[in-house]
Chain A
């Protein structure tokens, strides 16, 4: 291969890209009235979320179209990465000419929010971090308030006799939020809270558990995902460390069906956790569309579904690209969606109101916290 051939390859690659860009201008979705760009985590560490999320989006599009709505969705993989998500956002805004964006997780939201703000289009992001709502007047936040849930868990444990709480958390964006909330709990109740943070790949918790035993920890708030939870609860049982547990993340993350089925019931007895109740109508519709859908995909599907429904709800009432009108309509929309919530409200933060459960005798039993 000589230099000529090399340059020919590079030139051909550039020409092919330009040709695709030009032909894309004629693709059918541009003819529709409302186009929503979705930056989905289909690869990278957040890929566990993307598949279910896309299913919910597909269901929302079907339902809107069945009611005569005029919506199209363009999905791009954001790779659960800030830079890749920024590239996807640029493509969606400038090539696909979307009128609104959705993005998942904090890192991608951080890089996409300024791009959406500059383009002047509404953004729904799904992350723990609240600050994009303050920085971007067109941004709407989804996801549980982890700080609030950790605060509730900490207060409950302290009020029920705990003096030394351990926060066992994967070292991701929600760890500092949870820790700050628990520090406040420690001051309020005069108790001790110690963080035990670990990396994403950790599955051996024996040393951590032994350290907690030595430190006299008398209750645990776990903030991690399914695979960590399976290992943690198994090893906690093996080491006979029987202290109360109140999860800082909910059933879809930390106390899934896989965790409940693969860990001995005795090791899970008494765990308090929570979940966002899903509407039975949504559950039945998503199961009808995807009969093989598993429990772990229900929540991401509900997020995807609600994000599209709320966005389209605002878009359908306003002129195309009238962002202030769309934002205003979305604030007003208080209908209960798949997540049984009351919409965003004026603060543009999705109002989650979880139901609490206690694991007892191999079953999740609804648990009135107060």
Chain B
């Protein structure tokens, strides 16, 4: 049961990350490959506040969101100068910069040693130390963020974002300040990713820079694309499939000498087949 609970928690965390990136990539059409950086900023902010100041988890989440908002505003502003492939490359660069800061600002992040001993959240004297309660907490965050994303994408604000995705020039002609909308959704997406980071840090109780690499950003992009671009439901389904699939493959009787490698190959092949037959993702609105 603990194993299933653990997987459930990971699905919730990655579901939040999928939702956050879907707002940027799926709804607005900005191909960002820097989401792991914001995930990491949230994780590090929470870890540092919990381990050094002993702050309450929920306050730390809010502060982490605020820090992420400020940083993502700067990054988003620079990225707004780019379009299409250049946007993706620029965001790629920011992920590397943030990763390098995690690795090298040793007085703050402890560099490659990482931050261990991160505490679990507590609320009104109740500590979420049992994994089942942590699953409940993660699920509450996931559901709240899911409905927030649903509200956002179906609002007039969300319709402008979809308009930017389809034809930004046309929106400008109609007098919309598209820079404001793109910056706003980039910052909102980053803040939501920081919530996932806080949950991750508190759950695993240890973080180091290796979790927040470019590979992780690409994995998050895979969640959004597989689930279906511009679909909040798709982002959660994509997270569930990509977390469950490698776990299911653990139980396939590959020869033990090559089991790990076979699992990776099979995982890759399944993703390729899915994309061949369902390029718009499982429940997506459009394809890239």
Contact = CB atoms under 8 A, between A and B. Distances in A.
Contact of A111 (B205, B237, B260): B205
Contacts of B205: 110-111, 114
B260 A171 contact: no
Contacts of B163: none
Given A10-B237, A20-B248, A94 B2 contact: yes
A20 B283 CA distance: 27
Contacts of A176: 106, 110-113
B10 A42 contact: no
A82 B201 CA distance: 11
A55 B264 CA distance: 21
B104 interface: yes
A1 B282 CA distance: 8
B165 interface: no
B116 A175 contact: no
A94 B208 contact: no
Interface in A124-169: 129, 131, 135
Contact of B204 (A43, A111, A199): A111
A110 B206 contact: yes
A21 interface: yes
B240 A10 contact: yes
A106 to B, nearest CB: 7
B248 A17 contact: yes
A3 B112 contact: no
A24 to B, nearest CB: 6
A131 B237 contact: no
A10 to B, nearest CB: 6
Contacts of B277: 1
A77 B263 contact: yes
A82 B208 contact: yes
Contacts of A175: 111-112
B30 to A, nearest CB: 26
Nearest to A41: B260
Given A42-B261, A94-B1, A110-B206, A17 B247 contact: yes
Contact of B210 (A1, A20, A81, A114): A81
A75 interface: yes
Interface residues of A, number: 46
Interface in A5-45: 6, 9-10, 13-14, 16-17, 20-21, 24, 40, 42-43
Interface residues of B, number: 45
A87 B247 contact: yes
B7 interface: yes
A91 interface: yes
B206 A21 contact: no
A321 interface: no
A83 B204 contact: yes
Nearest to B244: A13
A75 B6 contact: no
Interface string B249-264: 0110000110111011
Contacts of A104: none
Given A42-B261, A94-B2, A13 B241 contact: yes
B133 to A, nearest CB: 14
A173 B248 contact: no
A111 B256 CA distance: 24
A171 B3 CA distance: 33
Nearest to A44: B210
A297 B251 CA distance: 28
A164 to B, nearest CB: 22
A120 interface: no
Contacts of A14: 244
Interface in A78-128: 79, 81-83, 86-87, 90-91, 93-95, 106-107, 110-111, 114
A77 B264 CA distance: 11
Contacts of B207: 82
B116 A110 contact: yes
B211 interface: yes
A307 interface: no
A3 B281 CA distance: 11
B83 to A, nearest CB: 30
B251 A87 contact: no
B114 A107 contact: yes
A93 to B, nearest CB: 7
Interface in B14-63: none
A94 B2 CA distance: 6
A72 interface: no
B88 interface: no
Contacts of A42: 259-261
B103 interface: yes
B259 A95 contact: no
B6 A90 contact: yes
B123 interface: no
A355 interface: no
B117 interface: yes
B282 A93 contact: no
B103 A83 contact: no
Interface of B: 1-4, 6-7, 10, 103-104, 106, 110-114, 116-117, 200, 204-208, 210-211, 237, 240-241, 244-245, 247-248, 250-251, 256-257, 259-261, 263-264, 277-278, 282-283
Interface of A: 1, 3, 6, 9-10, 13-14, 16-17, 20-21, 24, 40, 42-43, 50, 54, 75-77, 79, 81-83, 86-87, 90-91, 93-95, 106-107, 110-111, 114, 129, 131, 135, 171-173, 175-176, 197, 199
11 contacts: A13-B245, A17-B247, A42-B260, A43-B260, A50-B260, A87-B6, A106-B114, A110-B114, A110-B116, A110-B206, A111-B204
Given A3-B283, A171-B104, 6 more contacts: A6-B283, A10-B237, A17-B244, A110-B205, A131-B116, A176-B113
Q: Which 10 A-B pairs have the closest CB atoms?
A: A77-B260, A42-B260, A20-B251, A110-B206, A94-B3, A90-B6, A94-B2, A90-B3, A6-B282, A172-B112
